[in-house]
């Protein structure tokens, strides 16, 4: 078990002013995570902070299981992870952009959307693989995808996987795994 696996982690629910569930997520530092949502998510203005709720769980793996269950049973408007139809559509979109390999790299919002789509893939192995493919093919996206890949690797470590097992699953040498975290 990694140290991160034993850290208490919040399952948070974001609602609008009418009480509709907008988003479910987990974080050991929910204030920081909500700050990231505030800066990065187009749907943030719909959130009513007074209606945000937190449920603290003993560790990240327990929180991740609760998150998957909550998303599946409560169907928040803006969660796409753990929704197979949405996940498959996003992966197909990312593959299509990769195949096109446009001569013109396009506008940053297009690449930000692709990074968001990959980040929303629930399976960290698939998320790391998709991010790795994009890193190899689209230099403009490297910074965003390195962050997504690093987060996916940290999630696998928090789930108790060794660097050797992570390397095997995502197709890199085990000595490369710590470098993926930067």
pLDDT, one tens digit per residue, over 119-163 is: 888 888 888 888 887 776 656 556 777 878 888 888 888 888 888
144 lies in the same domain as 88? yes
55 lies in the same domain as 22? yes
Q: Which of 55, 74, 93 is the last residue in one of the domains?
A: 74
Q: Which domain, by its residues, includes 42?
A: 3-74
Question: Among 140, 154, 84, which Cα is nearest to 112's?
Answer: 140
114 lies in the same domain as 175? yes
Residue of 97 and 168 predicted with greater confidence? 168
C-alpha dist (Å) from residue 103 to 29, 69, 124:
40, 42, 30
Q: Which pair of tokens denotes residue 36? A: 């990231």
pTM: 0.48
53 lies in the same domain as 117? no
143 lies in the same domain as 166? yes
> Which pLDDT tens digit goes with each residue over 71-124?
888 888 888 766 555 656 666 666 665 555 444 444 555 666 777 778 888 888
Is residue 114 within 8 A of residue 141, CB to CB? The reply is: yes
> Which pLDDT tens digit goes with each residue over 38-72?
988 888 999 999 999 999 999 989 998 999 889 88
The alpha carbon of 97 is separated from its chain's Cα centroid by a whole number of angstroms, namely: 19
Q: Which of 74, 97, 131 is the last residue in one of the domains?
A: 74
Domain count, the chain: 2
Phi-psi region of 122 (alpha: psi -120 to 50; beta: other; left: phi over 0): alpha
HSE at residue 166, side-chain half, CA atoms within 13 A, is: 26
């Amino acid at each position: 078990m990694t140290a991160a696996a034993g850290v208490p982690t919040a399952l948070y629910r974001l609602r609008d002013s009418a009480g509709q569930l907008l988003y479910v997520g987990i974080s050991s530092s929910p204030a920081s995570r909500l700050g990231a949502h505030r800066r990065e998510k187009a749907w943030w203005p719909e959130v009513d902070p007074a209606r945000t709720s937190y449920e603290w769980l003993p560790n990240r793996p327990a929180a991740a299981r609760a998150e998957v269950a909550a998303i599946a049973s409560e169907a928040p408007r803006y969660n796409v992870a753990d929704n197979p139809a949405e996940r498959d559509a996003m992966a197909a979109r990312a593959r299509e952009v990769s195949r096109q390999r446009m001569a013109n790299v396009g506008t940053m919002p297009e690449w930000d959307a692709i990074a968001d789509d990959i980040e929303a893939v629930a399976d960290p192995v698939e998320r790391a693989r998709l991010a790795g493919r994009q890193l190899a093919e689209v230099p403009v996206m490297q910074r965003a995808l390195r962050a997504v890949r690093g987060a996916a690797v940290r999630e696998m470590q928090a789930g108790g996987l060794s660097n050797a097992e992570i390397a095997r699953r995502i197709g890199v040498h085990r000595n490369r795994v710590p470098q993926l975290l930067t």
